[in-house]
Amino acid sequence: MLRQNGWACLVRRGILFRPEGALLLTLSTTHVPATDLGYLLHKNPSRPQSFELAFGQAHVFYPEASPERCTAALLLEVDPVALVRGRRGSSGEGGALEQYVNDRPYVASSFMSVALSRLFSSALAGRSQERPELAERELPLVARVSVLPCRGGEAFLRRLLEPLGYRVTATPHALDETVPEWGPSRYFTVTIEGHKRVSELLTHLYVLIPVLDDDKHYWVTEDEVDKLLRHGEGWLAAHPEREHITRRYLRHQKSLAREALEQLLGEEHTSPEERERARDEAEAALEARLSLNEQRLRAVVAELQAGGVTRVVDLGCGEGRLLKALLQERRFTDILGMDVSWRSLDIARERLDLERMPELQRKRVKLIHGSLMYRDQRLAGYEAATVIEVVEHLDPPRLAAFERVLFEFARPERVVLTTPNAEFNVRFENLPTGRFRHADHRFEWTRAQFEAWARGLASRFGYTVRFGPVGPVDEEVGAPTQMAVFTR
């Protein structure tokens, strides 16, 4: 009966077609009565449940539920199309294709950890309303993960799990079953067994699955340090592989890993090697900042190239970062930078080294003083305009003037516009809640606000618009920068 309600029911409902090929985590116990597992996981053994997650669907059901043995299964269907949708326009066709053709939908990864934390949050935290005393107890547990990618192979898998007191069985998958001479892949079906609290075992999986996979589907920020320390409490500090675990969990971001290890072990315990790494820290932090800027410039230049643009005006060019990048590409033969700030224009002139530029080069670029608030004849005749991190500096009541200046009067064929994504602000460690990234920002838009504004504008002035993230895409809050590309 219960069996029927498990697999069979899902198969009937068309949720499950090939259980043997699905991405699956099972957790079994022989504690008597085994069906208490349902209370510990807060999921009723007789009722299969499905959950919508940002990256696909998760199903929880019990393939077996007798008093002697009970198995809960978490089945994850990662939707490759949803993954791509979340990143539309990120890197052109090649990028999208690469995202379709990858292993993510088929292997246990950070998606599994997200699903664990969403579906089993109480169990992870060791809470159970009906069986609080059982949540505290070590029970005979077996967990099985089908298709776990293990970078570092079986040896590393064992070095991670055996010190935690698990018996580990790992069955490697062939790279291609039809071509045995290719040898094993880095994918394993892994079973771990031990007497553990349910919360302990789930926590170990939560942390170690992405560590083994050595990849995460979202950008790792400061709060991952807290997450790691919280979930690592009671076991990570004493783990012989704690440094590996920490580094991989934090995706090899040295400064974060060092911070985590320091908090984990106390400063005096950090190795000389770790202290040496500290010297890189300032540079790494700087690089992180540079790289967002860099990524933004690259995204903009790529859009202009893709549009076959040769003549472009950069509105609110500031200190000329984009102008410099444009000059490096021969295709841009006519580049105009405009800004309202004389000081910025001076810095731009220096940055570009205009005075010492060879005559031919110099002819390609011009800097002018002007305001986006006023209709300006000098802006006419360019194929494209870029407005990079500028609109958020304009007073909202004056946005309408800017819209007309650009879309009605200058009217280039293509406009590439970027602005901060306000949703991402929670990921900046030093930014107090509710504050803008820059003192001069008049507003910062969420993705929905930006898209609503841009769509309205496009339809009023006869443009079409598409959007793309710039910078690493966080599953929940999106990318740090958002970009709109208008074409007419």
Interaction of residue 58 with ligand SAH, rule CB under 6 A: no
Nearest residue relative to ligand SAH (C-beta): 318
Interaction of residue 341 with ligand SAH, rule CB under 6 A: yes
Least Å distance, CB 393 to ligand SAH, is: 4
Stretch that binds ligand SAH, among 51-59, 63-71, 210-218, 371-379 (CB under 6 A): 371-379
Measured between alpha carbons, how far is 57 from 119 in angstroms, rounded to an integer?
11
Contacts of 336 (CB under 8 A, 6+ apart): 312, 313, 314, 365, 366, 367, 368, 378, 379, 382
The one among 25, 388, 417, 484 contacting ligand SAH by CB under 6 A: 388
The one among 34, 148, 335, 390 contacting ligand SAH by CB under 6 A: 390
Q: By rule CB under 6 A, what count of residues binds ligand SAH?
A: 16
DSSP string, 298-331: HHHHHHHHHTT--EEEEET-TTSHHHHHHHTSTT
Task: Rank residues 159 and 442 by Cβ distance to ligand SAH and give the closer one.
Answer: 442
Least Å distance, CB 15 to ligand SAH, is: 48
- Beta strand pairing call for 384-388 and 139-149: unpaired
Residue 199: alpha-carbon gap to chain centroid: 26
Least Å distance, CB 320 to ligand SAH, is: 8
Binding mask 307-326 toward ligand SAH (x if CB under 6 A, else -) reads ---------xxx--x-----
3-state secondary structure of 89: coil
Task: Rank residues 36 and 314 by Cβ distance to ligand SAH and give the closer one.
Answer: 314
Least Å distance, CB 286 to ligand SAH, is: 16
Q: What are 472's two structure tokens?
A: 């690493």
Contacts of 309 (CB under 8 A, 6+ apart): 331, 332, 383, 384, 414
Interaction of residue 403 with ligand SAH, rule CB under 6 A: no
3-state secondary structure of 215: coil
Task: Rank residues 220 and 372 by Cβ distance to ligand SAH and give the closer one.
Answer: 372
Interaction of residue 371 with ligand SAH, rule CB under 6 A: yes
Amino acid in the structure at residue 471? G
Dihedral class, residue 395 (left if φ above 0, else alpha if ψ from -120 to 50, else beta): beta
Least Å distance, CB 53 to ligand SAH, is: 35
Least Å distance, CB 459 to ligand SAH, is: 24
Q: How big is the CA angle at 162 (ends 144 and 73), to the nearest 5 degrees?
A: 15
Q: Tell the residue number behind the tokens 């500031």, with chain if given.
A: 318
Residue 209: alpha-carbon gap to chain centroid: 17
Task: Rank residues 141 and 394 by Cβ distance to ligand SAH and give the closer one.
Answer: 394
Stretch that binds ligand SAH, among 16-24, 135-143, 161-169, 369-377 (CB under 6 A): 369-377
Could you list the beta-strand ranges (E) of 197-350: 311-315, 334-339
Interaction of residue 295 with ligand SAH, rule CB under 6 A: no
Footprint on residues 226-255 left by ligand SAH (CB under 6 A): none
Interaction of residue 372 with ligand SAH, rule CB under 6 A: yes
Interaction of residue 344 with ligand SAH, rule CB under 6 A: yes
Measured between alpha carbons, how far is 182 from 184 in angstroms, rounded to an integer?
7
Chain residues that interact with ligand SAH, rule: CB under 6 A = 316-318, 321, 339-341, 344, 371-373, 388-390, 393-394
